[in-house]
Structure 1
Amino acid sequence: MIIVTNTIQVKLGYGGFIRERFKTPKNVHTFPGFVRMELLQTESLEDHEEYQVCTTWDNKKAFDAWVQSDSFSHAHAERKEGDNSEMVIANKITLHEVIVSHLPAVSLESN
């Protein structure tokens, strides 16, 4: 399993645009090998806002297939059509291999 993180830095006051963009599920949620997406906001920054778009995939092959897909091209072409050049300071994409994962313990006792 892999987690792909897109860290997006935006000017102060523009975080609402990022939150709104990821509020509604897009085609990536239906793509084979997709596990989940989370939008995280970094706290306590004073000079900009920062978000991490984290997508979890069964494997890198599934992620690569998404990146090469028409759905990916279409989703990112829509983003380019909007003028976000004024609000985005920087972004960085990193891939992480999940080495260990723990889920909550489940009680066998019933109430």
Structure 2
Amino acid sequence: MSIVKINAITVPRDRFDEFAHRFATRAGKVSSAEGFEGFQLLRPNDERETCLVITQWASEDAFNAWVRSPDFAAGHAQHRESGPVGTNSEIWSFDVLETEVPSAG
């Protein structure tokens, strides 16, 4: 069963562009991680200040292997070097019970 990990990050609105830029320039190796199934970066288009980093994984073990990997550390180097953009962060975890995609044609 697939799992979804959501990192809900509180980002002040005046730092939204910097937040997006950091993701655009990260190491970007998550897509080649074993068990990786998808990624989305969401920024609110209303008054909220919670940005969402959504990843989908084949299993909890695949996610945990990614978090322990050197590529994960490299992807988070900006956070360690320049400090966080967000003021708070919370990880949410879900099992995928159902997925629907548009039918072809």
TM over 0.5: yes
Cα shift at 1:37: 0.8
Q: After TM superposition, which residue ranges in structure 1, 4 or more long, deviate above 4 angstroms?
A: none
Paired residue for 2:46? 44
Partner amino acid, structure 2, of 1:67: V
Q: When the two structures are superposed, what TM-score results if normalisation uses the length of structure 2? A: 0.85
Paired residue for 2:56? 56
Cα shift at 1:7: 0.8
Distance 1:21 1:77, change over 3 A: closer
Cα shift at 1:106: 2.7
Paired residue for 1:11? 12
Paired residue for 2:95? 97
Separation in 2, partners of 1:11, 1:72: 24
Cα shift at 1:43: 2.6
The gaps in structure 2 that reach 5 residues or longer are none
Cα shift at 1:12: 2.3
Separation in 2, partners of 1:105, 1:75: 34
The gaps in structure 1 that reach 5 residues or longer are none
Query: Mean alpha-carbon deviation: is it higher for 89-98 or for 19-28?
Result: 19-28
Choose between structure 1 and 2: higher helix proportion: 2
How many residues end up aligned between the 2 structures? 103
Separation in 2, partners of 1:78, 1:39: 17
Equivalent residues in 2 for 1:48-87 (5 A)?
49-84=49-84, 87=85
The sequence identity of aligned pairs, in percent, is 28
> Secondary structure at 1:38's aligned position in 2?
strand
Q: When the two structures are superposed, what TM-score results if normalisation uses the length of structure 1? A: 0.81
Higher alpha-carbon Rg = 1
Provide Cα deviations, 1:35-66, integer angstroms capped at 9, x if missing partner: 11101112321xx6221000111111110110
RMSD: 1.7
